Amino acid sequence: MKPYLLLIAGIVLLSGVVPLSLPSWPEAKPVAPAAPGPASAAVYVYEKDSSAVPVGVTAGLNRLNRERQIVATLLEDDTTDGTGDVPEQYRTALQAARTAGLPAFVVLSGTTVIAVKKHPETDDDIWRSVP
């Protein structure tokens, strides 16, 4: 249909005749970005040389794994794979945690960050950080 309209417009311009009305295209409606889905993963990112992982945090991660079936893990800031890169599943969480300041708890929906809690210390801090 678009080539047809372009042909008509070209003929009209060459002939000098102004048409009374041309068919109009429906206006494109803006698409709102999709809201992130439910939490699918959670990562507590820390620097082992700066602080130990609080017992409440490990308890909270365990509780998320068991009760909400969210993959909740620990990640040391300097973790790399065999090629020297940060493992793919942790890249987004690590960047968000470094931006917020370590230690930080990052909640993800796929690869979208949906929450970041800086310096959590208790089971309750972890549990309440997950929307």
Q: What is the CATH number of the domain that holds 96?
A: 3.40.30
Note whether residue 30 is domain-resident.
no
Please report the pLDDT score of residue 3 as a whole number.
73
Predicted TM-score of the model (pTM): 0.73
Beta-strand relationship, 41-46 and 104-109: antiparallel
Mean pLDDT, contiguous 10-residue spans, the chain (131 residues): 69 61 66 76 96 95 96 95 94 97 96 96 95 89
Q: Look at residues 101, 99, 117 and name the one whose alpha carbon lies nearest to residue 43.
A: 117
Cα dihedral 117, 52, 39, 87 sign: positive
Residue 27's pLDDT is: 72
Q: Is residue 85 part of a domain?
A: yes
Segments forming the whole domain that contains residue 90: 41-129
Per-residue model confidence (pLDDT) at position 92: 97
How many domains does the chain contain in total? Answer: 1
The pLDDT value given to residue 38 = 92
pLDDT at 8: 72
Q: Is residue 7 part of a domain?
A: no
Q: Is residue 99 part of a domain?
A: yes
